[in-house]
């Protein structure tokens, strides 16, 4: 990842630190301590420990990256990393003025962070830490070191910081979305009747990997079943299939869903998918900088309500980027529970929204489209526009 840097003195800071300072000031936060791999990656401009990309456990402890950011003084920012990160540091140094890559686990990583905070004389009256990504042993070290501090969750501030994607971030998201679509088209084109769902998912994993993505998941259905797990269920002639996959490119997620069929769709299937497409386009129409987050749902809701299939239909819109569900948060009623903080907020240019409409038809099966939509100053842009109709299995992709 190559995030456009902001220059503060001689520092090339890879994010809008003025925005973060403003967000911290509004929340009364003196110090942010980030310990999730995705936020550390963002704040370091793309660095991610390659040895711990998939697994955090090591010996009797776990990997814990610690990024320290004091409000208004990026020249005192620090990164505390694992000893194996020194090799990556030699190839591409971190921007942080204080960088230590000499830890072995969670407790010593946090103790080194505490030692630096004290040595640098950083203000610790109100500290924001990532509660959901801070193990108990490290949290104990941190809280014991600053017993008089007020503690708040850094989630809201860091999400609000990340919601406005830079042009470089958007390039990564665009590639990820388009590569997932191309991978789906290739797999569907090669699929023959009788192939299992597990075989389709494995083929998709290979296609996404060959395009430089890290395969994350595939929710897949076949026939009239609503079960979305890979299995030995066969995809037979005449049956539909939904393929909903997430593949990430340098941490940024391409998450789309497309439909396929073994054979030719009949008139009813064409009408069902066309109705879903209509809802998708209606929901996207109001998306632009300055529009309220709730406008997306307001545009989709009437079409869902008047559909004769409304009892079997679900509409969802949510933010995405480094995390599959992140700000802007548009609803409190979705499958991933969180407050609808952004329903009453204006959308920002650079925000990325996943728009998805699902129909669980009692006799025709699981039919869904999911799209990645970027908010722009004048409207929006859809990443990965291809393969929106019924993709025929065994037919070369166009």
- Tens of pLDDT, residue by residue over 245-288, are 999 999 999 999 999 999 999 999 999 999 999 999 999 999 99
Question: Do residues 220 and 357 share a domain?
Answer: yes
Nearest to 265 by CA among 257, 256, 274: 274
Please tell me the predicted confidence (pLDDT) of residue 2: 40
Question: Do residues 68 and 132 share a domain?
Answer: yes
Q: How much is the mean pLDDT over the chain? A: 96
Q: Residue 61 domain-assigned?
A: yes
**Is the backbone of residue 129 left (phi > 0), alpha (psi -120 to 50) or beta?**
beta
Whether 93 contacts 139, CB under 8 Å = no
Nearest to 284 by CA among 347, 348, 353: 353
Specify the CATH number for the domain of residue 66.
3.40.350.10
- Tens of pLDDT, residue by residue over 330-363, are 999 888 889 999 999 999 999 999 999 999 999 9
- Give the rounded percent of residues in the chain with a pLDDT score beyond 90: 95
> Cα(132)–Cα(259) distance, rounded to whole angstroms?
35
Please tell me the predicted confidence (pLDDT) of residue 3: 46
- Tens of pLDDT, residue by residue over 10-66, are 899 999 999 999 999 999 999 999 999 999 999 999 999 999 998 999 999 999 999
Question: Do residues 244 and 215 share a domain?
Answer: yes
Please tell me the predicted confidence (pLDDT) of residue 5: 57
Please tell me the predicted confidence (pLDDT) of residue 10: 80
Whether 256 contacts 213, CB under 8 Å = no
- Tens of pLDDT, residue by residue over 204-216, are 999 999 999 999 9
Specify the CATH number for the domain of residue 206.
3.90.230.10
Range of the domain at 344: 167-392
Question: Do residues 216 and 362 share a domain?
Answer: yes
> Cα(138)–Cα(166) distance, rounded to whole angstroms?
32
The model's confidence at residue 111, banded by pLDDT at 50, 70 and 90, is very high
Domains in the chain: how many in total? Answer: 2
Q: Residue 397 domain-assigned?
A: no
């Amino acid at each position: 990842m190559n995030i456009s840097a902001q220059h503060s003195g001689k520092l090339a800071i890879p994010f809008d630190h003025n925005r973060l300072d403003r967000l911290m000031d509004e929340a009364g936060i003196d110090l942010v301590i980030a310990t999730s791999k995705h936020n550390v990656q963002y704040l370091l401009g793309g660095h991610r420990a390659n040895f711990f990309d998939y697994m955090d456990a090591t010996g009797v402890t776990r990997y814990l990256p610690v990024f320290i950011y004091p409000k208004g003084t990026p020249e005192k920012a620090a990164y505390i990393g694992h000893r194996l990160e020194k090799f990556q540091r030699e190839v591409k140094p971190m921007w942080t003025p204080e960088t230590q890559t000499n830890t072995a686990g969670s407790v010593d990583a946090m103790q080194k962070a505490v030692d630096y905070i004290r040595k640098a004389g950083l203000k610790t009256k109100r500290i924001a830490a990532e509660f959901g990504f801070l193990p108990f042993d490290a949290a104990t070290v941190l809280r014991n070191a600053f017993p008089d501090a007020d503690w708040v969750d850094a989630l809201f501030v860091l999400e609000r910081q990340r919601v406005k994607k830079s042009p470089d971030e958007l390039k990564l998201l665009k590639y990820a979305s388009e590569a997932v679509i191309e991978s789906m088209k290739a797999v569907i084109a090669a699929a023959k009747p009788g192939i299992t769902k597990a075989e389709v998912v494995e083929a998709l994993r290979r296609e996404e990997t060959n395009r430089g993505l890290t395969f994350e998941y595939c929710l897949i259905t076949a026939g009239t079943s609503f079960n979305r797990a890979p299995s030995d269920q066969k995809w037979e002639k005449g049956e539909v299939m939904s393929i909903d996959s997430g593949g990430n490119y340098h941490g940024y997620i391409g998450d789309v869903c497309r439909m396929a069929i073994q054979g030719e769709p009949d008139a009813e299937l064409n009408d069902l998918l066309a109705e879903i497409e209509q809802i998708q386009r209606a929901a996207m129409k109001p998306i632009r900088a300055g529009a309220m987050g709730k406008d997306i749902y307001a545009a989709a809701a009437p079409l869902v309500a008047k559909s004769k299939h409304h009892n079997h239909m679900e509409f969802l819109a949510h933010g995405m980027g480094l995390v599959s569900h992140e700000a802007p948060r548009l609803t409190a009623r979705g499958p991933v529970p969180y407050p609808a903080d952004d329903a009453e907020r204006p959308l920002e240019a650079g925000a990325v929204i996943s728009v998805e409409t699902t129909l669980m038809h009692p006799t025709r099966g699981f039919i869904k489209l999911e799209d990645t939509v970027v908010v722009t100053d004048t409207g929006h842009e859809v990443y990965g526009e291809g393969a929106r109709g019924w993709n025929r299995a065994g037919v070369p992709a166009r």
